[in-house]
Chain A
Amino acid sequence: MNWSLFFDLTVSGLTLGSLYALIALGYSLVYGILKLLNFAHGDVYMIGAFLGWYALHALGGPVNPTFTGAVVLFLMFVVAMLGCGVLGVAIERFAYRPLRNAPRIAPLISALGVSIFLQNSALLIFGAAFRDYDTFDLIGVKTYNIGQLFFSVPQLLTVVAAIGLMVALTLFVARSRLGKAMRSTSFDREAASMMGIDVDRVISVTFFIGSALAGAAGVMFALVFGQIYHFMGFIAGLKGFTAAVLGGIGSIPGAMVGGLIVGLAESYATGYLPQGSTFQNLYVFALLILVILIRPSGLFGKAAISKV
């Protein structure tokens, strides 16, 4: 057993998995409340990466930042999360709310339209060129190790920040008044409305939180892997969606676990399976199909009960 390779793949898989989990949370939150697959979510993640890049350069750039690296990083996350949160609310308000009582296919098509709109808007506004985060200049290229376990600062930061955000979200949904309203709306939107819950507000907050998490994931991705471009949300969105379905769409712990499974599966497939890096997506989606066939509602999802 090549333990060095195994540890490298595990670190890589956990990093990727943390990012997928954050994206998956956005899918799950929205699906839980609206039963809508928000296919524009991957592109919100892309916008978050760009907002982080602009924040970085507004703060002096990676080589000569105005503040210390930690402060700059914090502000990049704040800008990306706030910006994406507001974008998510706007998308819900203008693209989904008018279709709330339409057949379910209508908002789905609207979501695809928003996705293409965001991609091409980014191309128009940010240009086609790749943007470099120059993380090495901002944080340094140093790699740490515990025995054969090697990891870089951005990788560690990504895993820790993702776990922190997921724990905060879980506590928010479980213990806050607004979280309770979210759960009620998810359970029965009509009944929640009759009980005095402002459903529109709850949905807006849900979109804000989901999109803010995607924004954070966008910045984390760019910090770890270095570069961003207008089409980066496409495949990341699909992987996030995969993670959400695998974990049980609508379930917050499911999204987290699903994300980690997808990340690790992708990483191990690359390292161990024949032509793994070429067919890593094939292996990931094959795993998903397998799980769905055995457990259609995902790992943490609940089977729908219908009265006959």
Chain B
Amino acid sequence: MRRRRATAGAAVLALVAALAVVAAAYATPDRAAAPTATSGSGAALIKCGKTRTIGFMAPVTGPAASIGIQQVHWAQYYVSTYNKTHKTKFKLQTEDTQLGAPTGTAEALKGAQALAGSSNVLGVVGPAGSNEIVGVTKSLMDGGLAWVSGSSTRTSLTTDGTRTGYMFRTVPPDAIQGPTAANFILKKLKYTRVYIIDDQETYSTGLADAVQQVLKAAGATVNRDGVSQQQSDFSSLIAKIPRDTQIVYIPWQLPPKGQAFGNQMKAAGKGTIKLMGADGLYDSSFASVGAHVYDTNFPLNPKSKIIAGFKKGHGGDGEYFGAPTYAATQVVGNAIDRACAKGSTTRAAVRAAIRSTKIPAAQSLIGVAIRFNRNGDLSTLHKFGLYKSNGTVFVPIAG
């Protein structure tokens, strides 16, 4: 009997442990403690030298590696093209944040502490996830480091005042993208029966909330659901979508998942229902689902030589999700160059230089000049582009 109880106890313990692992894997810890106001000034003088170091945080491994690697490629592309044309050089000190893994935010925190403690690091590119930003804020601020993210879109990150002067981003917040998508659905497509499915990540839930809010306020019938980013089987979820639904909005981060969802919709006989993604799905793999697919994306400059050069070096693949990380690296690199004009600098000077960034539209792949407002958001980008698939790729359409 005792043995039986012990076995039961051990099994329950094992299960609880397994549940904890699963819960951690899916967690998006948005409730991390806010940093205190006692942040490092970053006033220590640092000799710039010929080779300057940029801290780089991205999910290089783990469940989100497929998008992290895009950011790695774009950051490396900036560094390699810069190094070919300048006497001074940049190198990246990369910290793997393992976004979405059981130890994800803890890894990001370790990475931030490593960068803050590394005296050569002058500024940081990343991290990728909004939840990670919350987790690393205190460490980076204590180290006096500024950071520029190319993918975190939660609106409150820059508006709550916690990170002012330290955090910047080269993607517009959900507060802009959400209404753009919702108004397109309501006013252009004139649809009133909408099914919204987030992928349970902070990026996705924030955007889904923003769209849902506008649609509901306008009186549309909105069904809301969620599915894990690590899920590939959508058949049960698709079975729940009413056949009279006009459009399914999926602001997900992984284009192949959007593609799989679209294909499984077709397999379930629901291929006539329109699909709409967000910037995370702006990719030919999602567009290939069919001509009934829409998307929103930051306005990449289609004539940009930077994008053409990147695609040439990556087998024709644009890896567009990572493109704003190029802009983020460009911002940090540009700021370090200016701050290092006299051969030495401080992290505080780099922060100030990032804040006063002025990259003209001609040198920017996001289609507009790069300048930041007081909060750290782009002051030059107030709307998102709208796109429709032609069956193969997305083409711009009027909003």
Residue ranges of A at the interface with B (Cβ–Cβ < 8 Å): 5, 8-9, 11-13, 15-16, 120, 123, 127-130, 132, 136, 141, 143, 150, 152, 221, 224-227, 229-232, 234-235, 238, 241-242, 245, 266-267, 270-271, 275-278, 280-281, 285, 288-289, 292-293, 296-297, 303-306, 308
Contact = CB atoms under 8 A, between A and B. Distances in A.
Contact of A128 (B15, B65, B238, B269): B65
Nearest to A242: B18
Interface residues of B, number: 51
Given A226-B263, A277-B240, A297 B7 contact: yes
Contacts of B234: 225
Contacts of B257: 130, 227
B209 interface: no
Given A136-B263, A296-B7, A304-B7, A128 B69 contact: yes
B235 A293 contact: no
Interface centre among A267, A292, A297, by most chain B C-beta atoms within 10 angstroms, is A292
B19 A285 contact: yes
Contact of A225 (B3, B22, B226, B260): B260
Contact of A8 (B22, B227, B239, B263): B239
Interface residues of B, dominant DSSP: helix
B236 interface: yes
A234 B69 CA distance: 20
7 contacts: A128-B61, A136-B267, A150-B268, A226-B259, A227-B232, A227-B260, A271-B239
Nearest to B60: A128
Complex A-B, nearest 6 residue pairs according to Cβ-Cβ distance, in ascending order: A130-B256, A296-B8, A8-B239, A270-B236, A128-B65, A12-B235
B66 A12 contact: no
Interface residues of A, dominant DSSP: helix
B164 interface: no
Given A16-B233, A130-B256, A225-B264, A245 B11 contact: yes
A37 B61 CA distance: 25
Contacts of B266: 136, 141
A129 B8 contact: no
Nearest to B9: A296
Given A128-B68, A285-B22, A296-B7, A8 B232 contact: no
A80 B378 CA distance: 49
B291 interface: no
Contacts of A306: 2-3
Contacts of A15: 235
Contacts of A13: 236
A234 B232 contact: no
Nearest to A6: B239
A132 B14 CA distance: 34
Contact of B233 (A12, A231, A275): A12
Contacts of A11: 235
B225 interface: yes
B66 A271 contact: no
A12 B267 CA distance: 12
B4 interface: yes
Contact of B11 (A136, A221, A292): A292
B25 interface: yes
Contact of A278 (B3, B22, B225, B263): B225
B12 interface: yes
B4 A143 contact: no
Interface in B1-29: 2-5, 7-8, 11-12, 14-15, 18-19, 21-22, 25-26
Nearest to A130: B256
A130 B11 contact: no
B272 interface: no
A129 B235 contact: no
Interface string B239-267: 11000000000000010110110011011
A156 to B, nearest CB: 12
